[in-house]
Amino acid sequence: MKEKGRSPFFKSKWFWLNAGICVVVFAVAFFLGSSRMNALLDGELLKYDELVVMAEDKDKEILEKESSVKSLQGEIDGMNEEKGQLNEQIQSKQKDLEEVMALIDSKDQLSEEIAGLEEQRNTNQGELTKLTEQLTVKEKELASVTGKIIELKDKPKVLPAGFFTVGQDIPASRYKVTPNGSGNFFVNDGMKVNVIIGQDDSFYLSEYVFYAEEGDLIELTTPATFQPVQ
């Protein structure tokens, strides 16, 4: 049997008290969950923005790196080209060096040949000098036997007609006088030499030998050649 006078449960104050508490708890939980969700969403948005900024920075860095790579590649290409040019120059200089070394070797060989020729020439010159001395001795011996006048290697002196002083116009020496015409030949006013010289042996002396001493006065009426003799 039902109890008389008992109220329904939804009319109980405990019911409404508990219901109110549940509503409050649900509201608080919903509020906390919503706040947490918003916080999470805000955090994700902030993280996304940071990632976008980082991605943009990386893109800029990549572009800069690509530009640097292109620049470095250009420098490398330029250096490789310069290296090739330097290699060509080195090869050219090496070729020049080899040619110079070959010339030096050739020069050394020529120098040795020249030294040998000079030595041979000196030897021949010594032999020639020796033979010349021997020839001079023999010529003197022949001249002493035959009475022949030996001319010296000194250059002859040609005097025109006129008056001359030995030591000023002509050196003191022993001379063979050969006329270039015909005329008188006097030394010291005829006191030392007084002859008529000419190219015709029938009438004149074709040559005359005398000692010209320092201070002698020579008079010629015809040009004559004075050849130094022994």
pLDDT digits over 2-47, tens only? 445 555 555 566 666 666 677 766 766 666 666 665 655 566 666 7
Residue 156 has pLDDT above 70, yes or no: yes
How many CB atoms sit inside 10 A of residue 185's CB? 23
- The model carries a pTM of 0.40
Residue 2's pLDDT is what?
Answer: 47
- pLDDT for 146: 52
Dist CA 216 CA 98 (whole Å)? 73
Question: DSSP letter at 149?
Answer: P
Looking at per-residue pLDDT, the higher value among 160 and 84 belongs to 160
Of the candidates 129, 212, 139, 131, the residue with the CA atom closest to the CA atom of residue 171: 212
Give the confidence band of 52 by pLDDT, cuts at 50, 70, 90: confident
> Which residues, other chains included, contact 197 with Cβ-Cβ below 8 Å and sequence gap of 6+?
177, 179, 182, 183, 184, 185, 204, 205, 206, 207, 208, 222, 224
**And the tokens for 96?**
């020049």
Q: What's the mean per-residue pLDDT of the chain?
A: 81
Distance of CA 13 to CAs 3, 10, 114, 204, 221, Å?
19, 8, 145, 195, 189
- In whole angstroms, what is the distance from residue 146 CA to residue 139 CA? 10
Q: How confident is the model at residue 89 (pLDDT cuts 50, 70, 90)?
A: confident
At residue 1 the predicted structure's pLDDT band, cuts being 50, 70 and 90, is very low
Residue 173 vs residue 53, higher pLDDT: 173
Cα distance between residue 70 and residue 9, in whole Å:
85
pLDDT at 99 over 80: yes
Token pair, residue 169, equals 């116009």
Helix (H, G, I), strand (E, B) or coil at 5: coil
pLDDT bracket for residue 179 (50, 70, 90): very high
Which are the contacts of 228, defined by CB distance < 8 A and separation ≥ 6?
151, 152, 154, 156, 173, 174, 175
CA distance 207 to 176: 7
Pick from 141-150, 160-169, 221-230: least confident: 141-150
Helices (H) and strands (E) in the chain, counts: 1, 8
Greater pLDDT, 120 or 196: 196
What percent of the chain is modeled with pLDDT above 70? Answer: 74
